[in-house]
Amino acid sequence: MTFYEFIRGIIVAILTWLGDGVTWIVLQINWQPLTGFAGWVGGIIMSEPSINLLTILSGIITVFLIIFINLIMMMWFELKLFARFYHGRGPTEVGYAGLLQNIAHGIKLFMKELIIPKKVDKWAYLIAPIIYIGTSFAVFVAIPWTEGFYLGRKDLAGGFLIVFAIFSMAPFLIFISGWASNNKFSLIGGIRSATQMISYEIPLLLSVVGVILLAHSLSLTEIVGAQSQTLGILPVWFLLLQPLGALLFFTAAVAELERIPFDLPEAEAELVEGWKTEYGGLRFGLIMFTEWARAFAGCSLFVLLFLGGWQGPLMETSLFGMDLGPIIGLVWFFIKVYIVFGVMVWVRASFPRVRIDQLLRVCWNTLLPLGLINIFLTVMVITLLSGFGVTYAIGFALGSFFLMVLLLFVRPEVEPLPPEGTLTSGGKKERTPALRTLVLKPLWVTMKHLFRRPATLMYPYETLKKPHTTAYYPVTKKIARVYEDGVFGVPDIWRNYRGAIGLDVDACISCGLCGRICPNRCITYVEFPGRDKNKKVPRVDFGVCMFCGLCAEYCPKGCIFLTSEYDLSAFDRNDLIYGPEKLSMFRGLKPETRFPERARELPSWEISKCIGCQLCSRRCPTGAITMIDSAIYIEKYGITWDETKKRPKSLPEFTGDKCVSCGTCAEVCPRRVITMDTPDSKGGIDK
């Protein structure tokens, strides 16, 4: 059963069912004009042309939907695989493993305004990409995906040529839209594209001639059928019979699809976006989408021509008498397409973009002669094997020899034209690219990198911390995977890193030194349950904090410390303000070593100014200041008090060994009696 018959069966069934319903209703009404009209309409709808039209339309819509979903999958596949070649992870956030990323892109492009620049040739500017997109999707009419997958009633006899004819329309349209954009970048991109595509069409066609000769047909279905033989378990695909042709086809197809390394028409470093520069919004999105559609078509063509199409094991399966062959064929086809596409991504990850002269030289000097040689070899082998007679074989041999000589004669000198002043190694000829260093080595290097562990850290969920345990992550309320030390080649990163600060609330004496020393004023103080109202504890705004670590260096009790935790990303800025509870969660990360003791400042008194307000004594967090009776004080320290001033009841006495140099006393003193003195001063009464 072909795809056409399948769709047609469904359509006929639906129409019959609807028709029965309508007939029943009409008969119930039983009104003569209505019956006549309904019979007339029904006759038209149920006629052969109308059913054919409906079938073809529904087939196209079905295939288009499949292509649409598949293209989104292919884009995702490319993003993921390409990221893995560079130790990345690709999209992860939107949908499962970032599957819906491209849909998000699409929605974003959909929201954008469609701008038509003022000085474009409006008519050509609008119509050229439409035809480009339309023709590119029309390619799928001729590409069979599985057994009996024809959109029409029968197989297209010239399947390959139809694909090719439709493909060949693209350079003209790209050229036109590049010109119509009225922008030099677009024009250069369009010209490059046209040059490239027109040049590479020739090796593309030549490389397939061998396959067509072997299969005796232009129809893609028959080409696939010709690859059904097996040699033991090994299937004889045309990849084995035509390795050179397959290589040429792949190279030419990559160039034809304008993918890296042949994406000169949209060389973003030089040409902004090439011929697409002036297109925005959904137009741009559709053009990009079409590029992937073309890539899909190219990969399918490679699979059909060289990889045996939909053929694979388990093709003869049937379930409850139903032949499952076509469905399994579909699965094989898509697996193969994705493998070929993966190789394309691999190539994309391996090579830098080539220059335009290199590109054209590769085409005309390498691919074209190789393609011709491939054809001659194929023809010779076929004639020799199929017993056309020795005369024919000799004729072909002579002819091919003659043409190869001709080719060598025609082949122009491989001499680039270096502009004056450029580097040429002592006037020598440019060396031909070495296969090993320029092609195989990059491929090998990228392949090695594919199997490495991704270096990207999933920021809120993973950390790069020393203790390789799981840890509760306070911001996102998730269990964070903690990586082992040294995995990423930076073993001591956590040790030398000044990360977020943590707090040991129990040890805090509420001296307020951290808040005073903080250069960014990110530390404020809040009350803490179970503590005295005046004994406030620090709260840190990590949105402001620059991780300088001064607070930890100055903290007299070592209750503020630096942790290796530095990934504090949150979805809300308020989440970045860490109260004492959150800060205490870092207690497990408290390092064993502390900062060395700092040279300390100590308070000194100008006692004659003192009014005896007792603030310093009350606010001192360590009790280093006590108030004693002024008479005793004066006697003890031998001060001469100016008797014109009123003598306060008590005066502050300082015990140096308890002091933590927090400076609270100096701050609270209303008369500036106390000042914090230089480091290493002894402190005490200023005489």
- Smallest distance, other proteins to C-beta of residue 418, A: 14
- DSSP E strands in 74-226: the ranges are none
| 8 A C-beta contact, residue 230 and residue 297 | no
Rounded CA gap, 541 and 544, in Å? 6
Backbone angles phi, psi at 567, to 5 degrees: -95, 90
| Token output for 584 | 């205490």
Site for other proteins in 406-465 (CB under 8 A): 406, 410, 412
**Residue that the structure tokens 């279905």 belong to:** 221
Site for other proteins in 115-144 (CB under 8 A): 119, 121, 123-124
100 scored as a contact of other proteins (CB under 8 A): no
Specify the residue, 201 or 266, whose C-beta has the smaller distance to other proteins.
201
- Smallest distance, other proteins to C-beta of residue 388, A: 12
Rounded CA gap, 177 and 179, in Å? 5
> CB neighbours (10 Å) of residue 306?
27
Q: Which stretch binds other proteins (CB under 8 A): 79-87, 170-178, 306-314, 652-660?
A: 170-178
- Smallest distance, other proteins to C-beta of residue 460, A: 51
- Smallest distance, other proteins to C-beta of residue 161, A: 4
DSSP 148-187: T--SSSS--TTHHHHHHHHHTTHHHHHHHHHHHTT-HHHH
Specify the residue, 387 or 412, whose C-beta has the smaller distance to other proteins.
412
Site for other proteins in 588-647 (CB under 8 A): none
- Smallest distance, other proteins to C-beta of residue 52, A: 10
> Is the dihedral angle over the CA atoms 420, 422, 424, 429 positive or is it negative?
negative
- Smallest distance, other proteins to C-beta of residue 188, A: 11
- For 294, the enclosing helix (H) or strand (E) is helix 281-306
Specify the residue, 223 or 464, whose C-beta has the smaller distance to other proteins.
223
Burial 520-533 (b: 16+ CB within 10 A, else e): eebbeeeebeeeee
SS3 content of the chain, % helix, strand, coil (to 5): 55, 10, 40
- Smallest distance, other proteins to C-beta of residue 410, A: 6
**Which residue in 6, 172, 461, 566 binds other proteins (CB under 8 A)?**
172
| Rounded alpha-carbon distances, angstroms, from residue 11 to 16, 25, 45, 155 | 9, 21, 11, 21
Rounded CA gap, 582 and 210, in Å? 71
Specify the residue, 169 or 315, whose C-beta has the smaller distance to other proteins.
169
**Which residue in 164, 275, 554, 586 binds other proteins (CB under 8 A)?**
164
Look at residues 604, 647, 377, 603 and name the one whose alpha carbon lies nearest to residue 511: 603
70 scored as a contact of other proteins (CB under 8 A): no
Partners of 473 in the β-ladder: 478
Site for other proteins in 260-279 (CB under 8 A): none
Specify the residue, 368 or 602, whose C-beta has the smaller distance to other proteins.
368
Site for other proteins in 174-213 (CB under 8 A): 175-176, 179-180, 182, 184, 187, 191, 194, 198, 201
Specify the residue, 191 or 254, whose C-beta has the smaller distance to other proteins.
191
Q: Which stretch binds other proteins (CB under 8 A): 143-151, 155-163, 424-432, 671-679?
A: 155-163
49 scored as a contact of other proteins (CB under 8 A): yes
**Which residue in 90, 91, 171, 474 binds other proteins (CB under 8 A)?**
171
- Smallest distance, other proteins to C-beta of residue 2, A: 20
Specify the residue, 218 or 240, whose C-beta has the smaller distance to other proteins.
218
| Rounded alpha-carbon distances, angstroms, from residue 496 to 466, 486, 514 | 12, 14, 21
The amino acid occupying position 443 is L
- Smallest distance, other proteins to C-beta of residue 187, A: 6
Contacts of 63 (CB under 8 A, 6+ apart): 140, 151
Specify the residue, 164 or 302, whose C-beta has the smaller distance to other proteins.
164
**Which residue in 50, 92, 168, 622 binds other proteins (CB under 8 A)?**
168
User: In the sheet where 684-685 sits, what is the strand order?
Assistant: 674-676, 603-605, 684-685
Q: Which stretch binds other proteins (CB under 8 A): 164-172, 305-313, 631-639, 647-655?
A: 164-172
3-state DSSP assignment of residue 36? helix
- Smallest distance, other proteins to C-beta of residue 286, A: 20
3-state DSSP assignment of residue 483? coil
- Smallest distance, other proteins to C-beta of residue 28, A: 33
| Rounded alpha-carbon distances, angstroms, from residue 251 to 371, 407, 524 | 12, 21, 65
**Which residue in 161, 236, 327, 517 binds other proteins (CB under 8 A)?**
161
Instruction: Give the x/- contact pattern for other proteins in 28-47, rule: CB under 8 A.
Output: --------------------
Residues in the interface with other proteins (CB under 8 A) total 32
**Which residue in 218, 343, 585, 613 binds other proteins (CB under 8 A)?**
218
Burial 93-103 (b: 16+ CB within 10 A, else e): eeeeebebbbe
Contact residues toward other proteins (CB under 8 A) are: 49, 119, 121, 123-124, 157-158, 161-162, 164-166, 168-169, 171-172, 175-176, 179-180, 182, 184, 187, 191, 194, 198, 201, 216, 218, 406, 410, 412
